[in-house]
Amino acid sequence: MIKVGIIGSTGYAGAELVRLLMGHKEVEIKWFGSRSYIDQEYADIFQNMFEIVDAKCMDDNMEELANAVDVIFTATPQGLCSTLVNEEVLNKVKIIDLSADFRIKDVNVYEQWYGIKHASPSYIEEAVYGLPEINRDKVKNARLIANPGCYPTCTILSIYPLAKEGLIDMDTLIVDAKSGTSGAGRGAKVANLYCEVNENIKAYGVASHRHTPEIEEQLGYAAGKECIINFTPHLVPMNRGILATSYAKLTREVTYEEVKAIYDKYYSNEQFVRVLKKDVAPETRWVEGSNYVDVNFKIDPRTNRVIMMGAMDNLVKGAAGQAVQNMNIMFGFKENEGLCQIPLFPA
């Protein structure tokens, strides 16, 4: 049994961490951190936790927390975790950061895209990008995990096998993605009000979304060369889910069987990545509430392109579920512990 602390436990990702960890056999949550709700009962904020969580919200004192737990999850806005991390803390406790503070290896790129000064750049190189299907061995011995973003997780996992095998021209890669409104966080914003979002779909962050360099960096590692993409996210009127559809030119003529074999090479032993049957397109409704990512592809011989598709729950595999998956690997638990929920339908 390990002790866990959560900083940012009352955001959407933080609440999802609580939900998943309450069903984890090897974990006890000792610290429900929330700067906005200090001393308030957690179950008063999230009534679904009534008679399940009997604890009050606490502050974000990383120094005190590091003495009380074995691992800290920081489900906080960009910039906060980097101000709290230091050597004294990391010598006592493992940290899994759900923000972008340690995902991008070039601090100048981070500061350019996020518009803030990085408070602890000396830890960027050490931080492990926590995508288990790709970096499992590195995650095992890490003390600081950069939990991937939601859009990057879905996009990278749907493209990675073909990028790694050199089957697509990375210079032609275009990513079109859609997300539910929970991806924008729990803070009050006019653009996310019901009347603003309902019966509407819109592109946002066009040619400027902060997840772009994260996707480029990771796919660049896979392809073995610099990767520059067009990434366009869209907001759709649903609570959860991400659908990413990516397009790229093929580098040679291929058959369905060849491409399917490549996906199976990378994912046949991965519980949480499901390669769908031929001509079955991923849908968000079949992964909602779960840690699964459904991926598939379609070859278009007319244009010499391949369409790569992925669907997942942005709050689970795109945030809290992946963080728990990383924790399981770090502490030697079964990787699927606390993550075997069957997708909800209807939700």
Are 314 and 242 in contact by the 8 Å Cβ rule? The answer is yes
Please name which of 155, 186, 193 lies closest in space to residue 318, comparing C-alpha atoms: 155
Asked if residue 297 lies in contact with residue 309, where contact means CB atoms within 8 angstroms, the answer is yes
- pLDDT tens column, 314-323: 999 999 999 9
Nearest to 164 by CA among 263, 275, 231, 299: 263
Q: Is the pLDDT of residue 40 over 80?
A: yes
Whether the pTM exceeds 0.95: the reply is yes
Provide the mean pLDDT of the chain: 97
* pLDDT in the model for residue 184: 84
For the chain, give every domain's residue range. 2-126, 151-312
* Poorest-pLDDT segment among 109-118, 192-201, 235-244, 248-257: 192-201
For 218-276, how does the pLDDT look when each residue is reduced to its tens digit (9 = 90+)? 999 999 999 999 999 999 999 999 999 999 999 999 999 999 999 999 999 999 999 99
Report pLDDT for 204: 96
Query: Under CATH, domain 151-312 is a member of which superfamily?
Result: Dihydrodipicolinate Reductase; domain 2 (3.30.360.10)
Q: Is 51 left (phi over 0), alpha (psi -120 to 50) or beta?
A: left
The closest of 109, 233, 216 to 171, measured between CA atoms, is 216
150 belongs to the catalytic site: yes
Name, in order, each residue with C-beta under 8 angstroms of 65's C-beta and a sequence gap of 6 or more: 5, 7, 31, 33, 72, 93
The per-residue pLDDT for 241 is 98
Q: How far apart are the first and last CA of the chain?
A: 32
- Considering 57, 150, 154, 227, which one is annotated as catalytic? 150
What's residue 296's pLDDT? 98
Q: What percent of the chain has pLDDT over 90?
A: 96
Report whether 288 contacts 341 (CB < 8 A): no
Judge whether residue 192 has pLDDT over 90. no
- CATH code 3.40.50.720 for 2-126: yes
One-letter amino acid for residue 122 of the chain:
S
Structure tokens belonging to residue 2:
């390990």
Residue 188 has pLDDT above 80, yes or no: no
